[in-house]
């Protein structure tokens, strides 16, 4: 191994390009200085970031290990083989493809492998918790495929399983998708498998949000039930910003071909190496404890916000996120997001099921605990966080100089100083 590792040389960057160096420091300060509650974000380890900032970024390696279209791939082949094997072991999967650049590209591969333009997809509707790439009109998936959407039940606010079954029987989709971006409850994968079998559909789980909880064995896995499971690697999982998929052996060739050469060209070998590091991290007992704590924290946070009148939809959560209805406190999602932002709390406005507001206004917020749990916070801190959020939303202001914004920011500062992100 060479003694000098060329990567992560911040002093060199600072000297050559102080403008970008300032952005990197500014972002690190932002992460350290506030509360990060976006449910799809996390803090990757320095080891993951080191692999990302490596010379593997230089390598063209179209193809798969041992079958590349370029010479010089011996080292990157080792990284991809490790990532594949670790991913298969972590999820007890028959096959893994670790080349997707993102969750959206992994999802594209599902369409590429199993559907022709005009074919029917059955998936959860975006305003009820689905995802852009699950057949919304603005996305390729809604433009090129006939998307039929199920939603949540009006009373339980959880997936309307009766509707899933009815629509599947009526429309006979090629693919049925479970998963999304704002689903606080566990999904009944066995039910979806049965319905897919009854109508002869492929069963696809987009596990981007909760795969990190599966990796930590904190919730049941979709892998035994689904034909294919796509996911991102940067949410609860805590890896690099990227995607991957696991599938049954019988779909391996179709999905590998759909990733490359159908949807992507050269894989990002530095990111694949970082995914390998991440999968190794996720196989440790420390990670499993982390995944359980993420859920425990999310439950406490959801309940504590509920006690302040910020109602959790479905009555709570089983996962890393909760969705809250702000209508009882007469504040919109967009205002809540801005008030929290001014108070040093980063979260996002979110549509709630049957939302009377437009998506860019929204009646809700989504909060998640991956970041604060990485920082080491527990139940007591979640109650404090709920107090801070509730005060920012009900008494705060979008102006960072407003006295309430200042006061809450000072309390946020004290809290995060006790649980530093990326300790110095």
**β-bridge partners, 149:** 123
Least Å distance, CB 186 to ligand DSN, is 17
235 given a catalytic annotation: yes
Q: 34 or 396, CB closer to ligand DSN? A: 34
In the set 120, 232, 313, 314, the catalytic residue is 232
d(CA 100, CA 84): 12
Taking CB under 6 A as the rule, which mask of x and - marks residues 259-298 in contact with ligand DSN? ----------------------------------------
Taking CB under 6 A as the rule, does residue 368 contact ligand DSN?
A: no
Least Å distance, CB 345 to ligand DSN, is 16
In the set 81, 94, 163, 241, the catalytic residue is 241
Taking CB under 6 A as the rule, does residue 233 contact ligand DSN?
A: no
Q: 232 or 278, CB closer to ligand DSN? A: 232
Judged by CB under 6 A, the number of residues near ligand DSN is 4
DSSP code, position 260: I
Q: 181 or 314, CB closer to ligand DSN? A: 181
Taking CB under 6 A as the rule, does residue 322 contact ligand DSN?
A: no
Cis previous bond, 261, omega within 30: yes
DSSP code, position 368: E
Phi, then psi, of 40 in degrees rounded to 5: -100, 10
Least Å distance, CB 209 to ligand DSN, is 6
d(CA 136, CA 177): 13
User: What is the greatest pairwise CA distance in the chain?
Assistant: 64
Q: Which of 35, 36, 40, 128 binds ligand DSN (CB under 6 A)?
A: 40
Is 291 strand, coil or helix? Answer: helix
In the set 80, 160, 206, 318, the catalytic residue is 206
Q: 189 or 231, CB closer to ligand DSN? A: 231
Phi, then psi, of 201 in degrees rounded to 5: -100, 160
Taking CB under 6 A as the rule, does residue 107 contact ligand DSN?
A: no
- DSSP string of 67-84? EESSS--HHHHHHHHHHH
The residue count of the chain comes to 424
232 given a catalytic annotation: yes
**β-bridge partners, 364:** 325, 350
Task: Tell me which residue has tokens 């809290």.
Answer: 415
Q: Which of 181, 268, 293, 317 binds ligand DSN (CB under 6 A)?
A: 181
Q: 86 or 134, CB closer to ligand DSN? A: 134
Is 345 strand, coil or helix? Answer: strand
Contact between residue 413 and residue 32 where contact means Cβ atoms under 8 Å apart: no
Taking CB under 6 A as the rule, does residue 99 contact ligand DSN?
A: no
The vertex-39 CA angle with 36 and 45, nearest 5°, equals 65
Taking CB under 6 A as the rule, does residue 103 contact ligand DSN?
A: yes
241 given a catalytic annotation: yes
In the set 59, 86, 193, 235, the catalytic residue is 235
Q: 8 or 264, CB closer to ligand DSN? A: 264
DSSP code, position 322: E
64 given a catalytic annotation: no
d(CA 393, CA 337): 8
Q: 207 or 269, CB closer to ligand DSN? A: 207
Q: Which is nearest to 347 in space by CA: 400, 388, 403, 291? A: 388
Residues forming contacts to ligand DSN in the complex (CB under 6 A) are: 40, 103, 131, 181
Which residues are annotated as catalytic? 60, 62, 206, 232, 235, 241
């Amino acid at each position: 191994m060479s003694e000098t590792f060329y990567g992560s040389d911040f002093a060199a960057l600072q000297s050559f390009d102080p403008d970008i160096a300032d952005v990197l420091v500014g972002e690190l300060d932002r992460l350290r200085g506030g509360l990060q509650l976006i449910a799809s974000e996390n803090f990757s380890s320095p080891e993951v970031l080191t692999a990302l900032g490596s010379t593997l970024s230089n390598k063209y390696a179209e193809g798969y290990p041992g079958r590349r279209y370029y010479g010089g791939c011996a080292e990157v082949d080792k990284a991809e083989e490790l990532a594949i094997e670790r991913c298969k072991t972590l999820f007890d999967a028959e096959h893994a493809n670790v080349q997707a650049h993102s969750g959206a590209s992994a999802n594209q591969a599902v369409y590429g492998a199993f559907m022709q333009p005009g074919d029917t997809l059955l998936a959860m509707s975006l305003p009820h918790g689905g995802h852009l790439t699950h057949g919304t009109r603005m996305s390729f998936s809604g433009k090129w495929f006939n998307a039929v959407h199920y939603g949540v039940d009006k009373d339980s606010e959880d997936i309307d399983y009766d509707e899933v079954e009815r629509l599947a029987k009526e429309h006979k989709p090629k693919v049925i998708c479970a998963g999304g971006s704002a689903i606080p409850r566990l999904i009944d994968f066995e039910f979806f498998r049965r319905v897919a079998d009854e109508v002869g559909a492929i069963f696809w789980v987009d596990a981007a949000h909760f795969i990190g909880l599966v990796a930590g064995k904190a919730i049941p896995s979709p892998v035994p039930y689904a034909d294919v499971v796509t996911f991102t690697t940067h949410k609860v999982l805590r890896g690099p910003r990227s995607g991957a998929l696991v599938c049954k052996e019988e779909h391996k060739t179709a999905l590998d071909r759909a990733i490359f050469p159908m949807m992507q060209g050269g894989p990002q070998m530095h990111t694949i190496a970082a995914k390998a590091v991440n999968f190794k991290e996720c196989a440790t007992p420390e990670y499993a404890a982390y995944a359980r704590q993420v859920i425990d924290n999310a439950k406490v946070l959801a309940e504590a916000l509920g006690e302040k009148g910020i109602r959790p939809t479905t009555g709570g959560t089983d996962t890393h996120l909760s969705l809250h209805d702000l209508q009882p406190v007469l504040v919109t999602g967009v205002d809540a997001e801005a008030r929290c932002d001014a108070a040093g709390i980063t979260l996002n406005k979110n549509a709630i099921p049957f939302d009377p507001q437009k998506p860019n206004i929204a009646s809700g917020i989504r909060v998640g605990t991956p970041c604060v749990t990485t920082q080491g916070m527990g139940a007591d801190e979640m109650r404090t966080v709920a107090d801070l959020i509730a005060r920012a939303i009900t008494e705060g202001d979008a102006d960072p100089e407003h006295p309430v914004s200042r006061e809450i920011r000072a309390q946020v500062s004290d809290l995060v100083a006790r649980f530093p992100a990326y300790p110095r």
